[in-house]
Structure 1
Amino acid sequence: MAEKVGIIIVSHSFPIGQGIRALIDQVIDDVPLSLACGTEDNEIGTSIEKIQEAIEQAAGESGAIIFYDLGSAKMNAEMAMELLESSNIRIAEDIPVVEGSYIAAVESNLGKSVEEIISSLEKMKINM
């Protein structure tokens, strides 16, 4: 079976990330999913190091998609990607983190590529 696209959740809140994981785990259990939520001390905030670790855990040959909750989380995700020089990793820009990551996990489970999933998510864009 082909490797599946990984899902990475970047949130300022560790409990939010855990909740999203619990929701996805209710229907899918074999899609790579990693969390980069909260600071190193699990306080409110984000950590470039945690994002790098999450990318390394979830992004295999099929790539990964990063979902984020707030603008600074996106900025840190971009920096983490630059430091790792990651390829085939995309940030789901302006996509609701809960709904988007759930749909991406379902589509990854169906064997869709990063680009196919991003294309599907475009319909969900929110104006920020």
Structure 2
Amino acid sequence: MIAVIIAERRGFTLIELMIVVLIISILASISIPVFHDFRCRARQSEARSSLALLAKCQEAYFIEHETYSLDKEHIGFKMTGTPKYNYEIVSADAVDFTATAKASYDDREDKWEIDSGYVLKNEPNACKR
């Protein structure tokens, strides 16, 4: 008789479906913020490496001309593809330069700054919540 009852049952009960939906929503609530943080840190690696390259271009230009330049393309720095950050040389003279990389993620501002001493700063940091 038990075998007959088990054989007639088909599909899932409402409770079983609700438990599956609950498990999926818990997993999504954990994994989505982790994914956003990972994506943000990956984008920030573009800013760090590109600003380091910009600083090297400035140093190469400085060796030849004994001054830093305000023009990115004049020093040989040009981004290809679709960069996530906007790069700008804020100040440059015969002694020092400062360059920034700015982007916005999920309505939060991310700004990186480098100077002639290769000091890299990140304020505000869009990846910190």
TM-score of the alignment, normalized to the shorter chain, above 0.5: no
TM-score normalized by the length of structure 1? 0.31
TM-score normalized by the length of structure 2? 0.30
Name the structure with the higher strand share. Answer: 2
Which structure has the larger Rg over C-alpha atoms?
2
